[in-house]
Amino acid sequence: MSGQSAGAGSLLRTLVTDTAGISMELLSAVRDRATTPYRYMKPLIKSAAGVGEPRVAPTPYRVVYTRGAMRLLHYEPTRRRHRTPIFFVYSLINRHYILDFLPGRSLIEFMLGRGFDVYAIDWGSAGEVERRLGWDEVLNGFVARCARWVRRASGAPDFTLYGYCMGGTMALAYASLHPEGLRNFVAQATPVDFHNAGVFTSWTRPGRFDVDALVDACGNVPTALMEAGFSAMAPVQRSTKWLEVFRRIDDPDFVTTFLAMEHWAADNVPFPGEVYRQYIRDCYQENRFFQGTMAVGAERVDLRNIRCPLLNIIADNDTIAPPSSSEPLNEVVSSTDKEIMRFPVGHIGLSTSSKGPKQIWPKIADWIAARSEPMQGGA
């Protein structure tokens, strides 16, 4: 009897403390006018499953260089086996830590384990100052300066440039403008032929999508608008996917991975206005990037200038950068050593799925290692 009353007391205590915690988090979401379901569902799921905050971006790093909101992060391997470092360029839309997702599911952690010296750009959150940034300043200023710091800090004469998603498009543009100092290029889920880029090609058609009106009205593209765009790709699944967590609420690994993914998906940053204007116009609407007529400053982005070994990684089920948009890259570059690797996953699955550390990343690491300068005696 006394055992039952103690049990009821502990249950009541749990309920009271949980309710208080949930209420605080929900109030905070309402106060922030959060538009993503994640902010409202997270406290409930965490409480029901008894899990903590997902430990995203677990790999330690140090900041090598910063400019405005941007930071260049350095991840140092315990034992460096390759002199040639890897320099990751990620998209301006989301946060970079999808590459350093969770312990044991981090591409960056995996590359460190393989003995690579790793650098990654974290674009930060665009504010008023970044609103006026153009492609010229982003590529010839930010990325070029980061590339110099990568060479300087690693002590290597060249590096492997690794672009992901829109970061891949930007990295390709950079590589065509500054092919010197590039040893290898890896493009992961990178849209190249924008007239074959699935629903986005149709949605952004000139006359239908007025990018000037958007940028003139909003400056930087608000996160809510970007989220609405991504939600519109699969609006029903966006809501019903939470039911799968309900069903598997007893599986803490599944719940943690799910929450980590949703945390990242909800952690969008505003897209710098002028970069967005040129991105939509020159890439999606006029396909100038693919045709070699996109102007950046006084120069032209011509993918034929890329001559270094190239690896094109494509996700078969990618709806953001569909295979039809990524595949043509290998036809337009001048590289003689070029390869396409395809994997049966989605856009994000390349970096976060359980297949990553077992089936996807070892192949990528082997390809890069075979084309990197080995470290003399290790470090």
Partner 1 sequence: MSEAKARPRRIHPLALSMKAIGYLTSPETAPGKVFVAGERRLTRVFEWLSQNDTYLDLAGKAMRAGFHLRRDTVSAAEAWLHLFRLPTAGDVSALRGELRAVHDEVEALGAQLEVVMEALEKQRAGEQRDVGQSLQRAEEQRAGEQRDARQSAPRVEKGGAP
**Count of all residues that appear for the chain in the document:** 379
In the complex with partner 1, which residue's Cβ is closer, 130 or 184? 130
In the complex with partner 1, which residue's Cβ is closer, 45 or 306? 45
**DSSP H or E segment with residue 215:** helix 211-218
Strand partners of residue 82 = 374
In the complex with partner 1, which residue's Cβ is closer, 20 or 295? 20
Catalytic annotation, pick one of 18, 178, 267, 347: 347
Among 17, 23, 28, 202, contact with partner 1 (rule: CB under 8 A): 202
253 CB-contact burial (10 Å; exposed 0-12 / middle 13-18 / buried 19+): exposed
165 is catalytic: yes
CA separation for the pair 120, 351 (Å, rounded): 14
Q: How far is CA 332 from CA 89, 123, 260, 312, in A?
A: 21, 28, 37, 12
Q: What x-and-dash track marks residues 119-158 binding partner 1 by CB under 8 A?
A: --------xxx-x---------------------x-----
Residues in the interface with partner 1 (CB under 8 A) total 51
Half-sphere exposure of 150 (CA within 13 A, CB side): 32
Contacting range for partner 1; rule: CB under 8 A; set: 45-53, 84-92, 114-122, 331-339: 45-53
Among 51, 64, 266, 369, contact with partner 1 (rule: CB under 8 A): 64
Map the footprint of partner 1 across residues 264-293, applying CB under 8 A: none
Contacting range for partner 1; rule: CB under 8 A; set: 6-14, 102-110, 186-194, 349-357: 6-14
7 CB-contact burial (10 Å; exposed 0-12 / middle 13-18 / buried 19+): exposed
In the complex with partner 1, which residue's Cβ is closer, 65 or 264? 65
Cα 273 → chain centroid? 19
Map the footprint of partner 1 across residues 232-251, applying CB under 8 A: 232-237, 240, 243-250
Which residue has tokens 């116009």? 281
Nearest-approach distance from CB 227 to partner 1, in angstroms: 15
In the complex with partner 1, which residue's Cβ is closer, 43 or 356? 43
Residue 32 DSSP one-character state: T
Q: How far is CA 157 from CA 73, 180, 254, in A?
A: 19, 10, 43
Nearest Cα neighbor of 163 from 18, 313, 43, 371 is: 313
Contacting range for partner 1; rule: CB under 8 A; set: 200-208, 259-267, 282-290, 317-325: 200-208
Nearest-approach distance from CB 176 to partner 1, in angstroms: 28
Map the footprint of partner 1 across residues 212-231, applying CB under 8 A: 213-214, 216-218
Cβ neighbours for 96, distance < 8 A, ≥ 6 positions apart:
73, 88, 90, 120, 121, 122, 123
Q: Based on the shown chain and the rule CB under 8 A, indicate whether residue 65 belongs to the binding site for partner 1.
A: yes
Among 24, 27, 30, 63, contact with partner 1 (rule: CB under 8 A): 63
Output the DSSP codes for 85-120: -EEEE--SSS-GGGGEEETTEEHHHHHHHTT--EEE
Nearest-approach distance from CB 101 to partner 1, in angstroms: 25
Catalytic annotation, pick one of 74, 146, 165, 193: 165
Contacting range for partner 1; rule: CB under 8 A; set: 90-98, 183-191, 210-218, 278-286: 210-218
SS3 at position 64: strand
In the complex with partner 1, which residue's Cβ is closer, 108 or 215? 215
218 is catalytic: no
CA separation for the pair 162, 87 (Å, rounded): 6
Joined together, the tokens standing for residue 46 give: 């965490």
Nearest-approach distance from CB 128 to partner 1, in angstroms: 3
195 is catalytic: no
Q: Based on the shown chain and the rule CB under 8 A, indicate whether residue 254 belongs to the binding site for partner 1.
A: no
Residues with catalytic function: 165, 318, 347
Residues that bind partner 1 (CB under 8 A): 7, 11, 14-15, 18, 44-45, 47-50, 63-69, 127-129, 131, 153, 199, 202-203, 205, 207-210, 213-214, 216-218, 232-237, 240, 243-250
